[in-house]
Amino acid sequence: MKLSIIGLGKLGAPMAAVMAYKGHTVVGVDINPLYVKAIQEGRAPVNEPHLTEMIAANRGRLTATQSYEEAILATDVTFIIVPTPSGSDGRFSMEFVLQAAEQIGAALRKKQSWHLVVLSSTVMPGSVSGELLPALRKYSGKQCPKDFGLCYNPEFIALGSVVRDMLKPDMILIGESDARSGGVLEELYTGVCESNPRIQRMNHVNAELTKLSVNTFVTTKISYANMLAEICETLPEADSDVVTAALGCDTRIGPKYLRGALGYGGPCFPRDNVAFSVLARDNGVPALLAEATDAINKRQVPRLAKLVLSHLPEGGTAGVLGLSYKADTEVMEESQGAAIAQTLLAAGARVVVYDPAAMENAKRVLTGDVIFAASAAQCVQQADVLAITTPWAEFQELPLQAFQRTSGHITVLDCWRVLPREVAGAIEHYLTLGTRGERKSSVSVAPEV
């Protein structure tokens, strides 16, 4: 197929690369000339694992432009992947979507053939039919579905694994204006996805609600596991890892995201949970579960900062390993590690920090008596109490020697249990979440974040 993708940011650029990799002709559109230039030169405009090599290998099928008209007249399907920032009330703004709709509509006005428009940005339920569709009709002078189709097709991905998640999704969600539009999108994904995902087709509002519901349910699961971990910390011989491993065996529950550790962060989970609460309240429905999920999540940073401070000797240095909201990305939005570091700094502690990708961002965010270490080992060596807050693979490879001292000792709070058993077991003061006292061996379970 011939595809155009509006927005070449952290989701749009990977989508463009994946579609080109799967044999489709792709034209990317962005108002940022640097993003367009990067694609034209075969470079990735954003940082994301595997993106650079995928773009470089498929230059023959992937181009970019700042012209909506050029892209839309040359393609049959247009994806919109632009920001929908949260407002002060928690609702998602349609400002940039509607700006794109005006440009798309003007281009469609000059086109004779039928065209499919697909919105992938996260929006409030009712937005596609209530705002986007009228805008497209107004600016194109055409009718849906006679002259163009309109689908809502949000992605279920995480930064740091966008390419993998797009190639191997669990589900493809399609909110369709009509059967023809949904059929075109289903045909496209059937050839792109390598995981044979279940394809769910429905109307616009059900798809919009499903997108919010999936993320809100996952955040509820995360907060439940964190609440359970906090309970286990009060009970002798209780271990949340043992309990959640058993819970995950029940097919009604499943193991993913069921691990007592840090709270959720990033650009999607926190705001989607808030938006779901707003949606419920706007319609007269108590948002008790979503609000409880958010309240539990907000407990995690202050309680963990308090735990670090309780082990910090007078005049000592607290260390934080991990400032990105998850591994394999430099994004710090709603990062638990960064929030813990800033809370410690606000309490007057000296803090040393390190992250494999987010150091430049951290220097713009963290303020106070902070030391930016040059490596993970350097961060460990300077810390009297160390919190490992992001499960980067690099941290799993830290040798025991990094934790050894000629005098005194280091206290390690391994929030995700990333250190190997032999290293964790040899550290005199090794703490994890979800158990009372010190845990002398870590659990070999890959963290879901």
Catalytic positions are: 268
Residue type, 64: A
Q: Beginning with the edge strand found earlier in the chain, give each strand of the sheet holding 411-414 in spatial order.
A: 370-372, 350-354, 317-321, 385-388, 411-414, 429-431
Which of 75, 95, 83 has its CA nearest to residue 28?
A: 75
Burial of 52 (0-12, 13-18, 19+ CB in 10 A): middle
Q: Beginning with the edge strand found earlier in the chain, give each strand of the sheet holding 171-176 in spatial order.
A: 62-65, 25-29, 2-6, 77-80, 115-119, 148-152, 171-176, 198-202
**Separation CA 150–CA 181 (nearest Å):** 7
Which of 79, 72, 71, 82 has its CA nearest to residue 19?
A: 79
Say how many C-beta atoms besides its own lie within 10 A of residue 360's C-beta.
10
Say how many C-beta atoms besides its own lie within 10 A of residue 102's C-beta.
15
DSSP 132: I
Q: Which residue has the tokens 């509006």?
A: 6
The DSSP line for 227-243 is HHHHHHTTSTT-BHHHH
**Separation CA 236–CA 232 (nearest Å):** 8
**Separation CA 358–CA 328 (nearest Å):** 10
Residues whose CB falls within 8 Å of the CB of residue 332, separated by 6 or more in sequence, listed in order: 323, 324, 325, 338, 358, 361, 362, 365
**Separation CA 421–CA 136 (nearest Å):** 58
The tokens for 120 are 């992938």
DSSP 131: I
3-class secondary structure per residue, 91-111: CECCHHHHHHHHHHHHHHHCC
